[in-house]
Amino acid sequence: MRNITLGSTGITVPQNAFGALPIQRISTEDAVRLLRKAYDGGMRFFDTARAYSDSEEKVGLAFEGMRDKVFISSKTMADTKEKFWADLDTSLRLLKTDYLDIYQLHCAARCYGEGDELYEAMKEAKAQGKIRHIGITAHKIGVAEDIIKSGLYETLQFPFSYLASDRDIRLVKDCEKANMGFIAMKGLSGGLLTDSKACMAFMSEYNALPIWGIQRESELDEWLSFFKTEISMTDEIRSFIDNDRKELLGEFCRGCGYCMPCTVDITINQCARMSQMIRRAPSQNWLTEHWQQEMMKIENCIDCGICKTRCPYELDIPNLLKKNLKDYKEILAGKEI
C-alpha cells in the first residue's frame, strides 16, 4: 500500500483511509468493532465531523487509550466564532482527546481568510494546541480553487473520483504544487461507483488521500484487501473506467443530500439519481413498494427551487427529478433496464 503525505502537515499514512460519516447509522458496538478492525487492518486516518450525529463519540470510544496511534480529523459548520469554539470543545470531549490532527471548516461557501472570525479562531485553536493543522472542505470547485490560491490552509477536502473532470484533476495537482494536502471525499460518487478495485487504482495515480465511507464489515473487508494486494492502474481497469465515464458523465446527482430537506418530503438525494442506481445495483432493491411511493412524491413537486439554491453542483434538480420519474414509470411498465 502506497503512503501519502498530506502536504506541509507531514502527516504520512497509507492511501486508504476511513470516512466515518456512515457509522452514525449503526450501533455503537458495531461501529467500535468496525473502527478497530480498520486499524488492525492497516488504516491510520479517520475522518469525522460534528455534523455526523454520534460519529465522533463512536470514534472516541474506539481509539480511547491509543490516541497516538491514529490520525483524526473533524469538522465544524459553525458560522460564528462562538459556535466554532463550542463545536471544537464538543468534538474534543466526544473524541476523548485534547487535540485534533486536522480541524476543517465544513462545506465552506467561500474561502475564509485573514480577518474572518472563523479563520482567526482556527489560528488561535492551533496556537493553543487544540488543533495541529488547519483544513477546509468544499463542494464547489471555484471555492476550492480560491482556497488553494489563498495559501492559508494546510489541507483541502473535495469530491474526487474517477468521474473527475479535467478541472478537478488540475485541482489535485495544484494542491500538490502548493504543498497542500488533498483529502478525497466521495470516491464512490455517492454509491454510483461499485468497483472498489477501479476506484483504488484511480486514486493510486494521484497525491490524494481517499476517505472511503464505510458502514458494513463487507465494505471494510474490500478496502482492507488492498493492504495485502497492491492495486495499480492497468489497461483493463482504464478501459473499464473509460466505459463507466461514458455511461455516467453529464448531469448526475452525487447523493450528498445538501439539497434537503424538501418542502414536499421528496428524498431528493436518492430519487434524483434513481435511473443510475436502478441500473447499477440489484434493481429489485429500488422497485420495492417503499421506493415506488418515494418516487411518486416527485409528482407533488411545487418547483419552489429551494433545492437548486442548496445544490453544491448547481444541478437543475426539479427537472432531474422529473426525468428520473419518467424513466422509473417506464421501468415499472416493463421497459428493459
pLDDT of residue 284: 85
3-state secondary structure of 330: helix
Which residues fall within 8 angstroms of residue 151, CB to CB, at 6 or more apart?
A: 178
pLDDT of residue 254: 81
C-beta atoms surrounding 60 within 10 Å: 22
Q: Which long-range contacts (CB under 8 A, 24 or more apart) does 296-305 make?
A: 296/325, 297/264, 297/265, 297/266, 297/267, 297/271, 298/266, 298/271, 298/322, 298/324, 298/325, 299/325, 300/264, 300/266, 301/264, 301/266, 302/263, 302/264, 304/263
CB 298 within 8 A of CB 330: no
Q: Which domains does the chain have, with CATH numbers?
A: 3-243 (3.20.20.100), 268-332 (no CATH)
**What string of pLDDT tens digits covers the 337 residues of the chain?**
899 999 999 999 999 999 999 999 999 999 999 999 999 999 999 999 999 999 999 999 999 999 999 999 999 999 999 999 999 999 999 999 999 999 999 999 999 999 999 999 999 999 999 999 999 999 989 999 999 999 999 999 999 999 999 999 999 999 999 999 999 999 998 888 889 999 999 999 999 999 999 999 999 999 999 999 989 999 999 999 999 998 887 777 888 888 999 999 999 999 999 988 888 767 888 999 999 999 999 999 999 999 999 998 889 999 999 999 999 999 999 988 7
The rounded distance, in Å, linking the Cα atoms of 105 and 125 is: 13
Asked whether the bond before 282 is cis by omega within 30 degrees of 0, the reply is no
Which residues fall within 8 angstroms of residue 1, CB to CB, at 6 or more apart?
A: 14, 15, 16, 42, 226, 227, 230
pLDDT of residue 281: 67
How many Å separate Cα 91 from the centre of its chain? 19
* Helical spans, DSSP H, in the chain: 28-41, 55-62, 81-94, 117-127, 141-150, 166-177, 196-203, 217-228, 235-248, 268-271, 274-280, 289-296, 306-310, 317-332
What the block records as the C-alpha cell of 288 is: 420495492
The pTM assigned to this predicted structure is: 0.86
